[in-house]
Amino acid sequence: MRVFYAAETERHAPEFFLLRGRPVANEERAERAERLLAGVAAAGLTPEAPPSAGRAPLAAVHSPRYLDFLETAWAAWQALPGASPEVVANVQPRRGEASYPAGVVGRAGWHMGDLACPVGEFTFAAAVRAADCAVAAADAVAGGAGAAYALARPPGHHTSREVAGGHCFLNNAAIAAERLAKGGARPAVLDIDVHHGNGTQAIFYDRPDVMMVSVHTDPNHFYPWFVGHAHETGIGAGEGTNRNLPLKLGADDAAWHEAIAVGLDTVKSFGADVLVLSLGLDVHESDPLGGMTITTDGIRRAGALIAAAGLPVAIIQEGGYLGPALTDNIAGFLGGFLGAQR
């Protein structure tokens, strides 16, 4: 399995995060990449740097004004008197009655869905390189590889066409799926992060040619709070190509595996010929977010379950924070996947 990782992504080192109204250290730290790389090595794999894919794959999924915002916001923010070191929105538009603003404070509110996506000096450059990893994984799979893994951070699945959120800036999985679809494939996204993939759902919600399935903790009690319900099935031409499989808070291995199996059946019924997997290791019982109680062995068996479906897979890293088991969890997933593939 080819593994794509870009060292430049570690220059994105967000500090700000608000937990139940209290500023705390941001969990989406560069140290995550080091722990994931250790797991990649333990699985016997060697990462390679992806080529630059340029702007086109990003623009296929995100709006021009959003890409411009991500690229220019930090410098514009720093020019404000008394600005904080990172761009954090403090206003939100009421979208039904709002017009697109000119200044960076208003634009931050427009393009940031919550306070969990602070933009620092190197955020855009890092997000672009993370997306390069996803594009390289998609291209490897389109070129005949059975699987490829994009060690992408910052993650992406909470970002829609032009609204960031939940540590995510560019939607790496959507960029990969769109590239595969444009290349003539029939992709499905299977999102097994503990959080619903609301950004990916929004991007493909009206699309009949890309299936989106998400297995996650019930949004009534967990981020992203407002979407991810079972009744959201797509709209217009995309009706029937979105499926949400929410699980109750604290779900265990058995419930998670059962939902993943249902997700894989859904992908098969859709007739997908390639899978984009949004892999979130924040399902683990030791993850600081506490949404599910999945064991390391459960993550390993999920890898085997997904490999056994027999589709080529572009694996895109999403969440999974600085719990003690992050290294073992990625090694377990990749080991389980490779073991079942052989």
**Stretch of residues binding Zn ion (CB under 5 A), selected from 81-89, 178-186, 265-273, 318-326:** 318-326
The least distance separating Zn ion from the CB of residue 237, rounded to whole angstroms, comes to 29
* Residue among 162 and 193 whose Cβ is closer to Zn ion: 193
Beta carbon nearer to Zn ion, 104 or 279: 279
Shortest Cβ 44–Zn ion spacing (Å): 27
263-302 binders of Zn ion (CB under 5 A): 280, 282
Rounded to an integer, what distance in angstroms lies between the CA atom of residue 213 and that of residue 148?
20
Q: What does the alpha-carbon distance between residue 171 and residue 318 come to, in Å, rounded to a whole number?
A: 10
Cβ distance 22 to 28 under 8 Å?
A: no
Q: Cβ 47 to Zn ion, closest distance in Å?
A: 22
CB 274 within 8 A of CB 312: yes
Number of residues that bind Zn ion (CB under 5 A): 5
Using alpha carbons, list the distances in angstroms from residue 307 to 170, 326, 336: 26, 21, 8
- Of residues 195 and 301, the one with the C-beta less far from Zn ion: 195
Q: How far apart are the C-alpha atoms of 260 and 292, rounded to whole Å?
A: 14
Minimum CB distance to Zn ion, residue 283 (Å): 8
Q: How far apart are CA 145 and CA 331, in angstroms?
A: 20
> CA distances (Å), 207 to each of 141, 153, 214, 330, in order?
22, 26, 16, 31
Kindly state the smallest distance separating residue 75's Cβ from Zn ion, in Å.
29
Which residues sit opposite 242 in a β-bridge?
212
The 48-87 contact track toward Zn ion, x by CB under 5 A, reads: ----------------------------------------
Residue type at position 238: G
Per CB under 5 A, the list member of 120, 246, 319, 332 interacting with Zn ion is 319
Q: Whose Cβ is closer to Zn ion: residue 267's or residue 279's?
A: 279
- Decide whether 132 or 193 has the Cβ nearer to Zn ion: 193
CB of 231 to Zn ion, least distance (A): 22
Examine the residue annotation and report whether 158 is marked as an active-site residue of this protein.
yes
**In 3-state terms, what secondary structure has residue 83?**
coil
Are 310 and 268 spatial neighbours (Cβ–Cβ below 8 Å)?
Answer: no
Print the binding letters for residues 184-203 with Zn ion: x by CB under 5 A, - otherwise. ---------x-x--------
Question: What is the identity of the amino acid at 165?
Answer: G
Q: Considering 12, 62, 157, 158, which one is annotated as catalytic?
A: 158
Select 181 or 292, whichever has its Cβ closest to Zn ion.
292
Closest by Cα among 126, 128, 120, 117 to 165: 117
Residue with tokens 């249902």: 262
Catalytic residue positions, numbered: 158
Residues near Zn ion (CB under 5 A): 193, 195, 280, 282, 319
